[in-house]
Amino acid sequence: MDDIARRAGVTKGTIYLYFESKDAVFKALLAESIGERVAASGALIENFEGPTSELLANVLRLLGAFVAHSDRVVLPKIVIAEIGKFPELARFYREEVIGRGLALWETILKRGVARGEFRALPTEHMARICIAPILLAAIWRTSFARFDSEPYDIEGLIETHIGVLLRGLAADGGVK
């Protein structure tokens, strides 16, 4: 709270005029940063008219850019590190960020199946497979990147993932 107050140029007491607790500050931060990404992705999905493969690639690139460039990429790491001390925050993160995000991925995957573009695979597993490299990139960037002699190519990871994922999802099984 001291760091937040210092960066905002106010006293710690001022923060408590707007937020009742540290939990409330963290929830507001999550809602603003990651929650907004989920909402933006939802709008993109709802209004997209092209092939589902293009939609899926666009969402992965959007998330990849967030992981590669945002200072808020550290939030999932903080939640994981603090689960034991703040289970209510972990529950909030699971419902508001992970739950909503997985639902969006399932929407994309079901759209692809319904349109005959993707083969029918268990969406609850495929949604997690879609997001796994994003999580890896976030963990890498916030934990191990400082030890790399050169910055890891997150965009390259995302593009490779898109290619492999779309071949695996293809209605013909990706076999050419």
Helix (H, G, I), strand (E, B) or coil at 118: strand
Average pLDDT (94-122) is 94
Q: Tens of pLDDT along 128-159?
A: 999 999 999 999 999 999 999 999 999 999 99
- The type of residue at 89 is L
Element at 115 (helix H, strand E): none
Contact of 98 with 133, CB cutoff 8 Å: no
pTM above 0.95, yes or no: no
What the chain holds in terms of domains, given with CATH numbers, is 21-169 (1.10.357.10)
Q: Name 53's Cβ contacts closer than 8 Å, sequence gap at least 6.
A: 112, 117, 166, 169
